[in-house]
A and B are shown apart, each in its own frame.
Chain A
Amino acid sequence: QQQVKQSPQSLIVQKGGIPIINCAYENTAFDYFPWYQQFPGKGPALLIAIRPDVSEKKEGRFTISFNKSAKQFSLHIMDSQPGDSATYFCAASRDNNDMRFGAGTRLTVKP
């Protein structure tokens, strides 16, 4: 059922570093690619999303890079902070239906 592959499973960076999380998808019909952030004991929350008509989107310190031909997209966190420590999920859907999630990346930002 896994149609979105996410890597790495876990990631540790120092404060100020730029963690990068990668996702690859199989279904070329997918047209909406969000990233969700989940803190322990909480549900995932939408962080940033992109559609395939653009190659990059920035919101604050978070950037999505999108490569349609390679069927890959990635999340970059600039100037990472300990408060960014969380689990990040990429996802993809077609016509906003049936969202498929990656397995998640546990990010730890050390002070």
Chain B
Amino acid sequence: KAGVTQTPRYLIKTRGQQVTLSCSPISGHRSVSWYQQTPGQGLQFLFEYFSETQRNKGNFPGRFSGRQFSNSRSEMNVSTLELGDSALYLCASSLQYPTGELFFGEGSRLTVL
């Protein structure tokens, strides 16, 4: 069974640009969560989607947005990139909502120059 797939794995952007990250959950999983991982802040919750609806949102500015498609695949977008947005963005899927067991992808490492 394939795990959570995130693309791209690495990307470099400049300040002011926007970026879209993609996440394909484990087959059959319907909930997708996004986290930002940085050395100083650890894992910070961004948002969670289930049945194409955002169920929870963390404390991030409106520049961070996401969506989920009918096949449970999810995308997150960051607009007007800032240097501080450099991080590993992790997607996690779970079988249903709500659920505690998260299955993480390997992440998309974003560097903002």
Chain A residues at the B interface, C-beta cutoff of 8 Å: 1-2, 6, 32, 34, 36, 41-46, 49, 89, 91, 93, 95-104
Q: A32-B100, A96-B100 are in contact. Are A101 and B42 (CB under 8 A)?
A: yes
Whether B42 pairs with A104 at a CB distance below 8 angstroms is: yes
Complex Cα distance A38/B86, Å? 19
Whether A34 pairs with B45 at a CB distance below 8 angstroms is: no
CB-CB < 8 A to B100: which residues of A?
32, 34, 49, 93, 96, 99
Chain B residues at the A interface, C-beta cutoff of 8 Å: 4, 33, 35, 41-45, 48, 55-56, 58-59, 90, 92, 98-107
Complex Cα distance A6/B106, Å? 23
Q: A43-B104, A46-B102 are in contact. Are A98 and B42 (CB under 8 A)?
A: no
Whether A97 pairs with B56 at a CB distance below 8 angstroms is: yes
Cβ-Cβ contact count across A and B, 8 Å cutoff? 60
Whether B43 pairs with A49 at a CB distance below 8 angstroms is: no
Complex Cα distance A45/B45, Å? 16
Q: A43-B90, A49-B100, A89-B43 are in contact. Are A1 and B58 (CB under 8 A)?
A: yes
A6 to chain B, nearest CB (A): 8
CB-CB < 8 A to B59: which residues of A?
1
Whether A43 pairs with B105 at a CB distance below 8 angstroms is: yes
Whether B107 pairs with A43 at a CB distance below 8 angstroms is: yes
Whether B98 pairs with A95 at a CB distance below 8 angstroms is: yes
Top 8 closest pairs, chain A to chain B, by CB? A43-B104, A101-B43, A96-B98, A103-B42, A96-B100, A32-B100, A98-B56, A97-B98
- Most chain-B Cβ atoms within 10 A of its Cβ — which of A1, A49, A95, A96? A96
- Most chain-A Cβ atoms within 10 A of its Cβ — which of B4, B48, B90, B99? B99
A101 to chain B, nearest CB (A): 4
Whether A43 pairs with B43 at a CB distance below 8 angstroms is: no
**A42: nearest chain-B partner, CB-CB:** B106
Whether B90 pairs with A44 at a CB distance below 8 angstroms is: yes
Complex Cα distance A56/B98, Å? 24
CB-CB < 8 A to A34: which residues of B?
100-101
